[in-house]
């Protein structure tokens, strides 16, 4: 007998599993199909984010930063007796800790499925015509299930580039870079985006000589110019050799090292690494996802066509997350999943795509929400800008973490906040405060009138908002023209 569900979700990443849980909470019979398995061959829910992306990379970032602080950041606090000569990082133990965190979270999703009544199905899901879903099980058997509604959430995978074919030994992608069992003496990273900078930072802190090869001439093109300049200066000081305008043209593996060829303003160059990470972006996983007569449309890059509410051309079929337009971010996917399910239930839920925060978890953190100054100027919007350096923050000084600043951009006519950009301690948390205010149409004056607890890092947001209109207290205000 064919199984029938109100909602069938293909993919159990941060978009898919959240959508499935929400659907079940709203009383819809729900199934979620996932094929990914862990090293033990067991079904692992959570998608790229929990298994080989957001969570494991943050675990390594945290461990590596603690090692860095033990080497260079504790003496100022009066902590003595730690010798750089004897301090060692047990890399397998660090990677093992990461694996335990991943296992705990993925098993937690399975528990949530059970608690909410979501039917978990292991296998490869493929959408057929008529909102039927074909499931190919691990043993090769095939089952077809029917759905009133189908949510496509298959996620994305790292982009491969011909000049540096990944072998997951010497040349690795972001997944392989999470599994190094020793610190490479010479590490190359292709791509100075979020993934490249985060993974490069991890291994640089542990002793790798890291070179980042970025084809673009501009560093962090999506970030505010002031933030990207500060980030480049800081990360370079930390030891990352970031080469802009360096386009990789080839690579050759010789035993346990790789010789990389690239071109820059000076012509063709070569450089040798012990490991090479390819981090040039991600592409949607839509291969073998749709039958030819499914009715769902895909563009030339593999993205599924959807409207503002993630509906495809087929009524009752939706797509969310990395396979649709917009930024490839776990939190975007999760909120799209909730929006879709609530609309299935008849609600008029919408998403504000203009206020999706972006974060790079280097140290200092880099985060922003809304538009940056160059975007607004290109649009002809007159703005007032306020900045506040963490060097003037009492809480940052107490923590010996004073790099960076908060920048608030407001409309010069209405004072409405149009962007918040932060590089510095707890940047992600501060930007989220800005996003909450911006969602409700806050002005810089509104933020300036709020009471912020002292001493906190969030006072930097308060002062930056005050500075927009020349009212900052703890820094000299710029004179109005």
Residues 292 and 420 in one domain: no
Residues 88 and 24 in one domain: yes
Residues 202 and 237 in one domain: yes
Biggest alpha carbon–alpha carbon distance for the chain:
76
Residue 144 lies in a domain: yes
Residues 29 and 129 in one domain: yes
Question: In terms of pLDDT, which residue wins out, 480 or 268?
Answer: 268
Give the model confidence (pLDDT) of 39-92 as tens digits: 899 999 999 999 999 999 999 999 999 999 999 899 999 999 988 888 999 999
Domain final residue pick, 353, 378, 404: 353
Owning domain of residue 464: 364-468
Please give the pLDDT value at position 158: 97
Instruction: List active site positions.
Output: 454
Residues found in the chain: 481
Pick the range with the lowest mean pLDDT from 74-83, 208-217, 298-307, 468-477: 74-83
Residue 474 lies in a domain: no
Residue 431 lies in a domain: yes
Q: What are phi and psi of 142, to 5 degrees?
A: -125, 135
Could you tell me the pLDDT band of residue 177, with boundaries at 50, 70 and 90? very high
Give the model confidence (pLDDT) of 405-457 as tens digits: 999 999 999 999 999 999 999 999 999 999 999 999 999 999 999 999 999 99
Residues 193 and 316 in one domain: no
Please give the pLDDT value at position 237: 97
Question: Could you tell me the CATH number of the domain that includes residue 411?
Answer: 3.30.390.30
Domain final residue pick, 259, 280, 301: 280
Structural contact between residues 36 and 44, judged by C-beta atoms closer than 8 angstroms: yes
**How many angstroms separate the CA atoms of 364 and 479, rounded?**
29
Question: 284 pLDDT exceeds 80?
Answer: yes
Could you tell me the pLDDT band of residue 2, with boundaries at 50, 70 and 90? confident
Question: 267 pLDDT exceeds 90?
Answer: yes
Please give the pLDDT value at position 480: 60
Residues 141 and 252 in one domain: no
Please give the pLDDT value at position 478: 83
Residues 55 and 177 in one domain: no
In sequence order, what DSSP letters do the residues of 422-437 get, joined into one string? EEETTHHHHHHHHHHH
Domain final residue pick, 215, 246, 280: 280
Could you tell me the pLDDT band of residue 258, with boundaries at 50, 70 and 90? very high
Instruction: Name the CA radius of gyration of the chain, rounded.
Output: 24
Residue 163 lies in a domain: no
Helix axes 16-25, 91-116, angle to 10 degrees: 30
Question: Could you tell me the CATH number of the domain that includes residue 64?
Answer: 3.50.50.60
Residue 424 lies in a domain: yes
Give the model confidence (pLDDT) of 106-127 as tens digits: 999 999 999 999 999 999 999 9
Name the E strands within 74-185. Answer: 119-122, 124-127, 132-136, 142-152, 156-158, 171-172
Mean pLDDT of the chain: 97
Structural contact between residues 261 and 269, judged by C-beta atoms closer than 8 angstroms: yes
Please give the pLDDT value at position 481: 47
Enumerate the known binding-site residues.
58, 125, 191-198, 214, 281, 322, 328-331
Residues 437 and 336 in one domain: no
Residue 480 lies in a domain: no
**Stretch 88-106: mean pLDDT:** 97
**Stretch 166-185: mean pLDDT:** 98
Residues 154 and 18 in one domain: yes
Question: 463 pLDDT exceeds 90?
Answer: yes
Region label for 384, one of left (φ > 0), alpha (ψ between -120 and 50) or beta (otherwise): beta
Enumerate the known binding-site residues for NAD(+).
191-198, 214, 281
% of the chain exceeding 90 in pLDDT? 97
Residues 216 and 74 in one domain: no
Residue 402 lies in a domain: yes
Residues 97 and 14 in one domain: yes
Region label for 441, one of left (φ > 0), alpha (ψ between -120 and 50) or beta (otherwise): left
Enumerate the known binding-site residues for FAD.
58, 125, 322, 328-331
Residues 374 and 418 in one domain: yes
**Can you list the alpha helix ranges (DSSP code H) found in 117-245?**
194-205, 225-237
Residue 273 lies in a domain: yes
Q: Considering its fold, how many domains does the chain have in total?
A: 3
């Amino acid at each position: 007998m064919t199984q029938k569900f109100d909602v069938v979700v293909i993919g159990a990443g941060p978009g898919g599993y959240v959508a499935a849980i929400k659907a079940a909470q709203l009383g819809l019979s729900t199934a979620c199909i996932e094929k990914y398995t862990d090293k033990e061959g067991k079904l692992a829910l959570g998608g790229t984010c929990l298994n080989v992306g957001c969570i494991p990379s943050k675990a390594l970032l945290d461990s590596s930063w603690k090692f860095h602080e033990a080497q260079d950041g504790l003496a100022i606090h009066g902590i003595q007796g730690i010798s750089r000569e004897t301090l060692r990082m047990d890399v397998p133990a660090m990677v093992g800790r990461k694996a335990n965190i991943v296992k705990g979270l993925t098993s937690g999703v399975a528990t949530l499925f059970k608690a909410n009544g979501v039917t978990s199905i292991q296998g490869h899901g493929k959408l057929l015509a008529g909102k039927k879903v074909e499931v190919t099980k691990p043993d090769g058997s095939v089952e077809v299930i029917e759905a009133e509604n189908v949510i496509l959430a298959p996620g994305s995978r790292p982009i491969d580039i011909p000049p540096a074919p990944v072998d997951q030994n010497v040349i690795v992608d972001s997944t392989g870079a999470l599994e190094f069992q020793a610190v490479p003496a010479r590490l190359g990273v292709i791509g100075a985006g979020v993934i490249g900078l985060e993974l490069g930072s991890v291994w640089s802190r542990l002793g790798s000589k890291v070179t980042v090869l970025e084809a673009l001439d501009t560093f962090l093109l999506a970030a505010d110019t002031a933030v990207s300049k500060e980030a480049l200066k800081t990360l370079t000081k930390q030891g990352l050799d970031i080469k802009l305008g360096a386009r990789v043209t080839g690579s050759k593996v010789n035993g346990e090292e790789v010789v990389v060829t690239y071109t820059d303003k000076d012509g063709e160059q070569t450089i040798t690494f012990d490991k090479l990470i390819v981090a040039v972006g991600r592409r949607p996983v839509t291969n073998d996802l749709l039958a030819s007569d499914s009715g769902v449309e895909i563009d030339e890059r593999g993205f599924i066509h959807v409207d503002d509410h993630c509906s495809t051309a087929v009524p009752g079929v939706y797509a969310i997350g990395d396979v649709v337009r917009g930024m490839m971010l776990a939190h975007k996917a999760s909120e799209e999943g909730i929006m879709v399910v609530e609309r299935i239930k008849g609600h008029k839920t919408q998403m504000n795509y203009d206020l999706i925060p972006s974060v790079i978890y280097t140290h200092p953190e880099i985060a922003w929400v809304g538009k940056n100054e160059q975007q607004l100027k290109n649009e002809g919007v007159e703005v007032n800008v306020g900045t506040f350096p963490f060097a003037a923050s009492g809480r940052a000084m107490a923590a010996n973490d004073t790099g960076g600043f908060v920048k608030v951009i407001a409309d010069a006519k209405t004072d409405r906040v149009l962007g918040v950009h932060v590089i510095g301690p707890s940047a992600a948390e501060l930007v989220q405060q800005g996003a909450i205010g911006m969602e409700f149409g806050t002005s810089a004056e509104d933020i300036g009138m709020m009471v912020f607890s002292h001493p906190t890092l969030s006072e930097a947001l308060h002062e930056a908002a005050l500075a927009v209109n020349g009212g900052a207290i703890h820094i000299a205000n710029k004179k109005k023209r």
